[in-house]
Amino acid sequence: MEKRETFSGKIGFILACIGAAIGLGNIWMFPWRLGSYGGAAFLIPYLFFILVLGTTGLMGEFAFGRNKKRGAIGAFKEVFAEKNLPFGSFLGTIPVIGVSGVFVFYLIVVGWILKYFVLALSNSFATVSIDNIPAVFGAFAGQPQSIVWHMLAIIITLIIINLGVVKGIEQANKYMMPTLFAILIILGIRSLTLPGAIEGLKFLFIPDWSLLKDPTTWIMALGQSFFTVSLGGAAMLVYGSYLKDNVDIPESAIHTAIFNTCASFLAALVIIPAVFAFGLSPQAGPTLLFITIPNILKLMPGGYIFGTLFFLSIFFAALSSALNLMEVPVEALMDYFKISRKKSAIIVGTLGFLIGIPLDLNINLFGKFADFVSIYLIPLGAVLAAVVFFWVFGVSKARAEINKGANKPLGVWWDFLAKYVFTIVAVVVLVLGVIYGGI
């Protein structure tokens, strides 16, 4: 068996975690939710949930992984074995399956983004009329052609994962994260200086306080805050399992949450002012990225260069999350079957590709699959990890692990926050998701 790798240090680890967190959740959900659920009013529950619960969950996953030096399956198994409880590995596979499910649908979107990056780079939108932009997406997504782009996305992710934690994941994020932020800032300036951009700012930030009385606002803020920092009981956990004991976990968690929030704001400032400047309506999901945005790029002076930069930045945001998503099942197979990273990566890549093909060919099925995984499995994984780490392993031992390399160690007060508040809220996210069918 290969020796377990570790991230080279704090910076490498934090960049990898920021890369994992920032993704489609920030770009195609956040701006739209911010505008639709009360603008500045939405920020109150959102920032509260991110800063209080998001950081708590991140610290838990990092420390759980580091304490056991294994991914979720191995870590759950060890905690259960210590207490002579059965079914540890079985329960540990649930978060791993959830995150692997995100891997399956996410890589399809990475393929779409690659295709649109190439379209932007080759100036192909120049010859398409605005009316035909939806048809370009329709002739691609859900059609056999998309399989090729999906495969390309998997191959790129696989190559990086095969290079390992330091030479692959850490290196890739070292290039991608600074570039991503630089591009988002350039695009933000472009968008905010468009005539009419102010309407977008009004949509984003004028508070509609009455929406705070609507439970949906809180539900949306809650679901967003868990998904956006990748709390699913396996993804941040596996990065934590490659962490040295001297790395400051509370600080890493806070940095991950803050940079992730900054990326969400930047994405909102890039997208929404431009949408309003051209009199379009704000959208979420694939429609935003693959129809509304190309439409804007056609209308905007300098659309070629800004479009190319835009799709490059989205590609980096999504690829850095894809690395984390793929690492979860890759680590699980390596650990469980004692096989090499290379073998495991090829198996995971091939399976992810094959399972994704029916979704490539049917966009409805794609949507149902993505919803099922992100509404049910991901919150279920987050709940399981919280229960296993804070309750079965024990919250004071959990805090001791978190405090190992910490500059400002957490006090006993944190035990109540993690054990009761976080766990109960994680259950609430799950239940509300089930009831409302979509967080």
Q: Which does 232 bind (CB under 5 to 8 A by kind): Na ion, ligand PHE, none?
A: ligand PHE
Q: Look at phi and psi of residue 372 and say left if phi exceeds 0, alpha if psi is from -120 to 50, else beta.
A: alpha
Q: Is residue 192 within 8 Å of residue 398, measured between CB atoms? A: no
61: closest CA among 329, 229, 321, 240? 240
Contact criterion met (CB below 8 Å) for 222 and 56? no
Burial group, residue 244, by CB count within 10 angstroms (0-12, 13-18, 19+)? middle
Query: Do the Cβ atoms of 255 and 272 come closer than 8 Å?
Result: no
- What tokens does 232 get? 């699913």
Q: How far is the CB of 267 from Na ion (least distance, A)?
A: 10
Binding-site member from 228, 261, 320, 344 for ligand PHE (CB under 6 A): 228
Nearest Cα to Cα of residue 418 among 235, 250, 219:
250
Residue 129 burial by CB count (10 A; 0-12/13-18/19+): exposed, middle or buried? Answer: exposed
The one among 6, 230, 241, 295 contacting ligand PHE by CB under 6 A: 230
Residue 326 CB, nearest approach to Na ion (Å): 16
Q: What are phi and psi of 4, to 5 degrees?
A: -70, 130
Partner from Na ion, ligand PHE, none binding residue 378, C-beta < 5-8 Å depending on class: ligand PHE
Q: Which is nearer to Na ion, 204 or 229 (CB)?
A: 229
Name which of 239 and 393 has its Cβ closer to ligand PHE.
Answer: 239
User: Least distance to ligand PHE from the beta carbon of 224, Å?
Assistant: 9
Site string for ligand PHE, 381-410 (x = CB under 6 A): ------------------------------
Containing 225, the helix (H) or strand (E) segment is: helix 215-228
Is 55 near ligand PHE (CB under 6 A)? no
Structure tokens that stand for 31 in this block: 């701006």
Q: Which does 235 bind (CB under 5 to 8 A by kind): Na ion, ligand PHE, none?
A: ligand PHE
C-beta closer to Na ion: residue 22 or 323: 22
Q: What angle do CA 127, 113, 269 make, to 5 degrees?
A: 90
Dihedral over alpha carbons 255, 237, 242, 73 (to 10 degrees): 180
Q: Per-residue x/- mask for ligand PHE, residues 344 to 383, rule CB under 6 A?
A: ----------------------------------x-----
- Judged by CB, which is closer to Na ion: 22, or 314? 22
Binding mask 13-42 for ligand PHE (x = CB under 6 A): --------x-xxxx----------------
Partner from Na ion, ligand PHE, none contacting 325, C-beta within 5 to 8 A by type: ligand PHE
Q: Which residues bind Na ion (CB under 5 A)?
A: 21-23, 25-26, 228
Find the binding residues for ligand PHE in span 82-121 (CB under 6 A).
99, 102
Residue 190 Cβ, how far from ligand PHE at the closest point, in Å? 24
State the binding partner of 99 from ligand PHE, Na ion, none, CB within 5 to 8 A by kind: ligand PHE
The three-state DSSP-derived secondary structure of 306-327 is HHHHHHHHHHHHHHHHHHHHHH
189-216: b or e for each residue (b if 16 or more CB lie within 10 Å)? ebbbebeebeebbebbbeeeeebbeeee
CB of 397 to ligand PHE, least distance (A): 25
Binding mask 308-347 toward ligand PHE (x if CB under 6 A, else -) reads: -------------x--xx----------------------
Decide: helix, strand or coil at residue 134: helix
Per the CB < 8 A criterion, the answer to whether 341 and 164 are in contact is: yes
Task: Compute the least distance from the CB of residue 270 to ligand PHE, in Å.
Answer: 16
φ, ψ for residue 247, nearest 5 deg: -80, 140
Minimum separation from the CB atom of position 35 to ligand PHE (A):
18
Task: Give the Cα separation of 35 and 51 in Å (integer).
Answer: 20
Q: How far is the CB of 321 from ligand PHE (least distance, A)?
A: 5
Q: Which residue is nearest to Na ion (CB)?
A: 228
Q: Can you tell me the distance from the alpha carbon of 124 to that of 298, in angstroms, rounded to the nearest whole number?
A: 11
**Closest CB to ligand PHE among residues 197, 383:** 383
Q: Tell me which of ligand PHE, Na ion, none is bound by residue 165, counting a contact when its beta carbon lies within the kind-specific cut-off of 5 to 8 angstroms.
A: none
Question: In the bound complex, what is the minimum distance in angstroms from residue 325's beta carbon to ligand PHE?
Answer: 5
CB 217 within 8 Å of CB 42:
yes
Binding footprint of ligand PHE on the chain (CB under 6 A): 21, 23-26, 99, 102, 227-228, 230, 232, 235, 321, 324-325, 378
